Structure 1
Amino acid sequence: MFVGYSRTSQIDQVAGYEAQLRDLHAAGCEKIFGEQVSSVNSSRPELERAIDFARENDVLVVTRLDRLARSVSDLSQIVARLEAKQVGLKILDMAIDTTSPTGRLLMNLVGSIAQFEREIMLARQREGIAKAKAENKFRGRAPTARRKAHQIMELHRAGQGASEIAMATGVGRSSVYRIIADAPAQ
């Protein structure tokens, strides 16, 4: 059985998500698990369900490598889990199928190249930020919570709790606590 897995990083990436579903159906997937969460710093419960669902001789199918793994080590862990269950992996856009020795070799090469490419991109980004800082052009992220400090303090003085204030202002609860703690005593 072909078991599909689709993922987009954000809920508003509807077209990309629908395209993945279309491609997985076209590839013959009988069961598809999908989610719209960032792969960085978050769990992927539907990926876990897909791996748990897959049985011996099944193949987990994804449209692209970056929809499945965060890094080479993450990819290796996923593949090891699949291999332990005797489940193959198929990556559609690369025509990689790990049910053959050649497919496993290609997947390892492509995974290493993808991680190398990401590391180069991050290094360039750090260089660009350093250059912008040296030229006083880099300001960093705008401190949105600090801009709402007056509103946060008004709500706090009105007796609202941190969770209510966070919901009302769209600021994280920890930022609310920090602003309240930093406020001069009145």
Structure 2
Amino acid sequence: MAKTIAIYVRVSTQQQDFRSQEPDLQQWADAQNGRIKWYRDKATGKRMNRPAWNELEFALRMGKIFQVVVWRIDRLGRTVSGLASLFDEFQDRNINFVSLKDGVDLSTSAGRLMANMLASVAQYETELRGERVAAGQAAARAKGKRWGGSQAGKRKKVTSTQEKAVLAMKAAGEPITAIAKAVGLSRPTIYSILETP
């Protein structure tokens, strides 16, 4: 059975589209011989549990894929540990990995070094963005800014599990809309949880 080249495309939110990534990937795909399958996710890069990625991972484990191609490494994931273990798995399974914009090809030792360095940069950028958001919110709170128009003490009943999930997701950099949808609460309620000292 002929193996397939997997092209993986990811954006972080449902509101985003794949337009910035697909032209370069399509141009690359047009120059290849053989079967190509596209996998597209609209999900955070902080977790590897995503619908299209899960499908691709299953195909990898079944031995149906010989190469995985992405636009940039941070489209695959944004944690050093997750990406490093994935790169190891690719090597163990003799699967080549190519990141077009980063110029990374895991079939070379220089490519493996570059891949791990870029994984560290992707995680750093994610953490830095989260720190900036938290600092901005703290400064706004210090100036008396409130979000969502909710009044202190007047919010929908929230369980401690929901509250912990909201705080954890916000610390991980998730947008308010995504948090609200995930825990089943309104955006004003999410803001009121985040504002509670």
Shorter-chain TM-score above 0.5: yes
Q: Which blocks of at least 5 consecutive residues in structure 1 are unaligned? A: 149-170, 177-186
In structure 2, the residue matched to 1:10 is 13
In structure 2, the residue matched to 1:166 is none
Match of 1:51 among 57, 65, 71: 57
In structure 2, the residue matched to 1:34 is 40
1:24 touches 1:62 (CA, 8 Å); kept in 2? yes
What secondary structure is seen at the aligned counterpart in 2 of 1:27?
Answer: helix
Alignment of 1:1-186 (within 5 A): 1-14=4-17, 16=18, 18-28=19-29, 30-40=36-46, 43-54=49-60, 55=63, 58-137=66-145, 139-143=146-150
2:25 touches 2:70 (CA, 8 Å); kept in 1? yes
How far is the alpha carbon of 1:173 from its aligned partner? 8.8
1:56 touches 1:86 (CA, 8 Å); kept in 2? no
Higher RCO (C-alpha 8 Å, min separation 6):
2
What secondary structure is seen at the aligned counterpart in 2 of 1:58?
Answer: strand
Which entry has the higher C-alpha Rg, 1 or 2? 1
- Between the aligned residues of both structures, percent identity stands at 27
**How many residue pairs are counted as aligned between the two chains?**
152
TM-score, with normalisation over the residues of structure 2? 0.62
Q: What do you get for the CA RMSD once the two structures are aligned? A: 3.4
TM-score, with normalisation over the residues of structure 1? 0.65
CA distance in 2, matches of 1:42, 1:104: 20
In structure 1, the residue matched to 2:163 is none
Superposed CA offset, 1:91-138 (max 9, x none): 11111111110000011111112222322232222222222222212x
- After superposing on structure 2, the runs of 4+ consecutive aligned residues of structure 1 that deviate more than 4 Å are 171-176
CA distance in 2, matches of 1:107, 1:3: 18
1:57 touches 1:88 (CA, 8 Å); kept in 2? no
How far is the alpha carbon of 1:36 from its aligned partner? 2.4
CA distance in 1, matches of 2:183, 2:15: 25
- Range 1-10 or range 20-29, more displaced: 20-29
CA distance in 2, matches of 1:42, 1:50: 11
How far is the alpha carbon of 1:172 from its aligned partner? 8.5
Which structure dedicates a bigger proportion of its chain to helix?
Answer: 1
Q: Which blocks of at least 5 consecutive residues in structure 2 are unaligned? A: 157-180, 187-197
What secondary structure is seen at the aligned counterpart in 1 of 2:101?
Answer: helix
